[in-house]
């Protein structure tokens, strides 16, 4: 078995409207493999999913120090854009890219990566239920790959996934990339 970094993984969720499967499945997979998961959000306390699921917030996004984590991943859900599509989140993701840390997103949160300017020339996927993702990714210079979960490791490991149905695959892909990082 490969040695995995002892630094925790940061999962960033919306304080209101995070997607519980997209958060819960990767968290469960990582923790089952001995990786500590820290949950960040735009507000302290407890985050609430649309279905009422609760999640404890360990740190607010404005307090995140990217160097303290082995990877940083944005979780989707109905509240992701409203709560996380902002300069604070962009800076976190931009720093992750600068430090060659694995980062990524699932579902609608891929749009936050696009808005952060970190996926130019990279292969990504994400939720396209409204038909707008093609144009958003084209404008950001990204290459839209219509697959459930992908990793573009051309220079840094960017992992993206489509929706809750591939949350388990997203978690497994994060684990795989972390094992390669050492």
* Domains observed in the chain: 9-181 (3.40.50.880)
- Comparing 108 with 155, which gets the higher pLDDT? 108
Provide the pLDDT confidence category of residue 181 given band limits of 50, 70 and 90.
Answer: confident
Q: In Å, how far from its chain's centre is CA 53?
A: 19
pLDDT of res. 4: 66
Provide the pLDDT confidence category of residue 1 given band limits of 50, 70 and 90.
Answer: very low
* Whether pLDDT at 21 is above 90: yes
Q: What is the pTM of this model?
A: 0.95
Residue range 47-60, pLDDT digits in tens:
999 999 999 999 99
142's torsion region: left (phi>0), alpha (psi -120 to 50) or beta?
beta
CB contact burial 90-101 (16+ within 10 A = b; e otherwise): bebbbbbbeeeb
pLDDT of res. 40: 99
* Whether pLDDT at 172 is above 70: yes
Q: Mean pLDDT score of the chain, rounded to an integer?
A: 94
User: What percent of the chain is predicted at pLDDT more than 90?
Assistant: 91
Residue range 4-20, pLDDT digits in tens:
668 999 999 999 999 99
Residue range 107-141, pLDDT digits in tens:
999 999 999 999 999 999 999 999 999 999 999 99
Query: Dihedral angle at the C-alpha atoms of 145, 151, 155, 156, nearest 10 degrees?
Result: 130
Instruction: Report the distance separating Cα 56 and Cα 40, nearest Å.
Output: 9
* Whether pLDDT at 182 is above 80: no
pLDDT of res. 6: 82
């Amino acid at each position: 078995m490969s040695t995995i970094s002892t630094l925790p993984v940061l999962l960033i969720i919306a304080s209101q409207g995070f997607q519980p499967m997209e958060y819960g499945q990767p968290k469960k997979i990582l923790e089952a493999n001995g990786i500590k998961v820290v949950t960040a959000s735009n507000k302290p306390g407890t985050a609430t999913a649309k279905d009422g699921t609760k999640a404890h917030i360990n740190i607010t996004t404005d307090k995140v120090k990217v160097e303290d984590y082995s990877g940083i991943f944005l979780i989707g859900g109905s509240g992701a854009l409203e709560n996380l599509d902002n300069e604070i989140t962009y800076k976190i993701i931009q720093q992750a890219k600068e430090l060659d840390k694995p980062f990524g997103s699932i579902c609608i949160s891929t749009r936050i990566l696009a808005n952060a300017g970190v996926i130019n020339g990279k292969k990504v996927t994400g939720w396209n239920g409204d038909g707008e993702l093609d144009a958003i990714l084209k404008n950001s210079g990204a290459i839209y790959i219509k697959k459930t979960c992908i990793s573009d490791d051309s220079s840094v490991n960017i992992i993206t996934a489509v929706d809750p149905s591939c949350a388990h695959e997203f978690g497994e892909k994060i684990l795989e990339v972390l094992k390669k990082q050492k």
